[in-house]
Amino acid sequence: MNPERRQEVLALGSRPLEIRDVVRVAAGQLQLELDPAARRAMLGSTRQLARALDSGQAVYGVTTGFGDSCTESIPPAERHALALNLVRFHGAGLGPLFSEAESRAITVARLACLVRGYSAVRPQIVEHLLTLLNAGVVAAIPALGSVGASGDLTPLSYVAAVLLGEREVLWKSKSEPARPHLQRLGLQPLTLEPKESLALMNGTSAMTGIACLALERARRLCRWCAALSAVNCDVLLGQPGHFAAELFSLKPHPGQALAAAWIRADVGQRSSPAPMIQDRYSLRCAPHVIGVALDVLTWASQWVEIELNSVNDNPIVSADAIYHGGHFYGGHVCQAMDSLKVAVANLADLLDRQLLHLCDPRSNRGLPANLARGSTAHHGFKALQITASALTAEALKLTTPASVFSRSTENHNQDKVSMGTIAARDCQSILDHVERVAAITTLAAVQATELRATHEHGPRARALVQSMRALVPANTADRRMDVDVVAVLDSYSKGLLALGELDDE
């Protein structure tokens, strides 16, 4: 008997998906199967499409051309070619590939729409994608090329193409031709029925899958920033009273109160008076800055989960009728990501200011300049502080809203588009930068804690010193420190840093 525990399996379509489900699938921690009720709903939708076609009803993308070509009538003999050609001509994505985790998130977001049973897609389509996903094989999807309406056509075409045995897949972090992997898993390349390629491609799943990952990353990052704010309050001889529970009951934004509670639990309690009656804003207002991000996460997560569980393609084929509309428009995801971008970038700005005070002898309350140990020829964190400033500036630059850059595309048929996928990608890039700033600040905060050896440190400072010194040595002489930052980020990604628990763990 295999001593390893059997991986958990979720019946897709049995209940609404949560962001955490997408995150777990993306991490390879959760497998999926098709729920029997979802299978029946899908079959009902395909039967309705067949009835409509038999009656001579015009159906966009089946009896007509696509987009601006919807005035063109497609004879029955050419409808399979039309479905195939939609996949092929959208093979126009460019730039770096989405990561394996991102591609998995995109795939499960698309599956969540299809299993609702309004897309006129055979269950076989979903089952093939589930077999690939559960086996760790996902489409190799270029990150550039979507305007976010008419859905994520170009990136999702790479998901559809894999079912045809075309283009490439990611397998163990390598890009390889798709067809051999279909053969290895006992799958035959599919011939897509009319409407199936459109259903696979014409939705908001790329932006939604990426948004799910960004939201989870931002949630963890808020806890990291709270932990660092507590440690930095300790080493800068700050006022623990700034985080008092009664104080935050008087301005009860939920995220702000939660951030204050985290810091309050982590910070040391001083037995001697603090040097200043109140601290600089980057310490005193840390719960307020982190709280904004936490409160944005609350409503942004609700919006993204609604989108995740929505029917977001066109046309929509219920068991009784066919509707033509615009549910592929990703405006809600775009607005959620544009807002989260700003809140997350402000976390970098917060930490950058705290790092500055740690390094500056005019504000670090007696610590050596740049937290340097040893001779005056030693420069400590001088260069890393510059790096953190550069990363913060770049994160702030990326906060420009994507939604306001809507373009008129495809011969003015797609004349108002969401840019949601660009917003989600921007948010991921900002998170990359802010996590790097947090890693640098962690290294500095631990060094400052050790330099302030006689101070009454709080539980978070003590725990961080212990976990960090098992990972990287103290900076006692000038040396390269990029490897230290990478080591911290790797440990963080594995959940090994002693940052405290999130509220729901």
The residues annotated with a catalytic role in the active site are 60
| CA proximity to 326, closest of 159, 202, 154 | 202
Structure tokens given for 468: 């960090």
Map residue 375 onto helix, strand or coil. coil
Burial 374-392 (b: 16+ CB within 10 A, else e): eeeebebbeebbebbbebb
| CA proximity to 368, closest of 264, 469, 448, 436 | 448
d(CA 244, CA 254): 15
Distance of CA 324 to the CA centre of its chain: 30
- Residue 290's alpha-carbon distances to 307, 338, 424, in angstroms, are 26, 17, 20
What string of DSSP letters covers 161-196? HHHTT-SEEEETTEEEEHHHHHHHTT-PPPPPPTTH
The identity of residue 42, as a single letter, is: M
d(CA 213, CA 350): 23
Region label for 151, one of left (φ > 0), alpha (ψ between -120 and 50) or beta (otherwise): left
d(CA 249, CA 243): 11
